[in-house]
Amino acid sequence: MYLSKLSLFSFRNHTEKNISFSSGVTVIWGQNGSGKTSILEAITVLSMGKSFKTHKQKTIIKKGKNGFIVKGVFLSKNKKEQIAIQNTKQNKQLIKINGKTITNRKELIGKNNVVVLSPEDQKTTKGGPKERRLFFDRLFSVINIEYLNTLQRYNRILKQRNAWLSSFYKTKQNEVLENQWDKLLVDVGVKLWDLKNQHFFEFKKELVRVIKEYNDNINIDLFFSEDALTKEEFEKKTKKNIKRDIVLKRTTAGPHKDNINILLYDKDIRDVGSQGEHKIVLTLLKLTEMNIIKKKTGTQPTLLLDDLFSKLDLNKSKKLVAFLNKMESSLGEPIQTIITTTDLVNIKKSGLLLSDKKINTYKLETNCNTLLAQ
Ligand SMILES: Nc1ncnc2c1ncn2[C@@H]1O[C@H](COP(=O)(O)OP(=O)(O)OP(=O)(O)O)[C@@H](O)[C@H]1O
Ligand SMILES: [Mg+2]
Convert 138-156 to b/e letters by CB count within 10 Å (16 or more is b): bbbbbbbeebbebbeebee
Query: Which residue's CA lies nearest to atom 29 of ligand 1?
Result: 33
In the chain, ranges of CATH 1.20.1050.90 domains? 123-298
Q: Which residues pair with 87 in a beta bridge?
A: 68, 93
State which of 6, 8, 12 you would mutate to test the pocket of ligand 1, scoring each by most atoms of that ligand within 8 A of its C-beta: 12
Atom of ligand 1 nearest to the CA of 31: 25
Tell me the pTM: 0.89
Interval between CA 364 and ligand 2 midpoint (Å): 12
Residues, CB-to-ion distance under 5 Å, ligand 2: 36-37
CA 186 to the chain's CA centroid: 27
Interval between CA 138 and ligand 2 midpoint (Å): 22
Query: Which residue's CA lies nearest to atom 25 of ligand 1?
Result: 32
Q: The CATH number of 123-298 is which of 1.20.1050.90, 3.40.605.10, 3.90.550.10, 3.40.630.30?
A: 1.20.1050.90
Residues 182 and 243: their CA atoms lie apart, in Å, by 13
In the chain, ranges of CATH 3.40.50.300 domains? 1-113+300-374
Query: Which residue's CA lies nearest to atom 2 of ligand 1?
Result: 12
Torsions phi, psi of 277, nearest 5?
-65, -40
Residues 73 and 2: their CA atoms lie apart, in Å, by 8
Any idea what the Cα angle at residue 101 is, between residues 99 and 102, rounded to 5°? 130
pLDDT for the residue numbered 200? 96
CATH of span 1-113+300-374: 3.40.50.300
Pocket, ligand 1, Cβ cutoff 6 A: 12-13, 30, 32-38, 59-63, 307, 342
Per-residue pLDDT of the chain (374 residues; tens, 9 = 90+): 899 999 999 999 999 999 999 998 899 999 999 999 999 999 999 999 988 888 888 999 999 999 999 999 999 888 899 999 999 999 899 999 999 999 888 889 888 999 999 888 899 999 999 999 999 999 999 999 999 999 999 999 999 999 888 887 666 655 555 667 899 999 999 999 999 999 999 999 999 999 998 877 789 999 998 888 999 999 999 999 988 998 899 999 999 999 999 999 999 999 999 988 898 899 899 999 999 999 998 889 999 999 866 667 777 777 877 788 777 767 777 889 999 988 887 777 766 655 566 788 888 987 544 444 33
pLDDT for the residue numbered 316? 77
Residues 132 and 324: their CA atoms lie apart, in Å, by 24
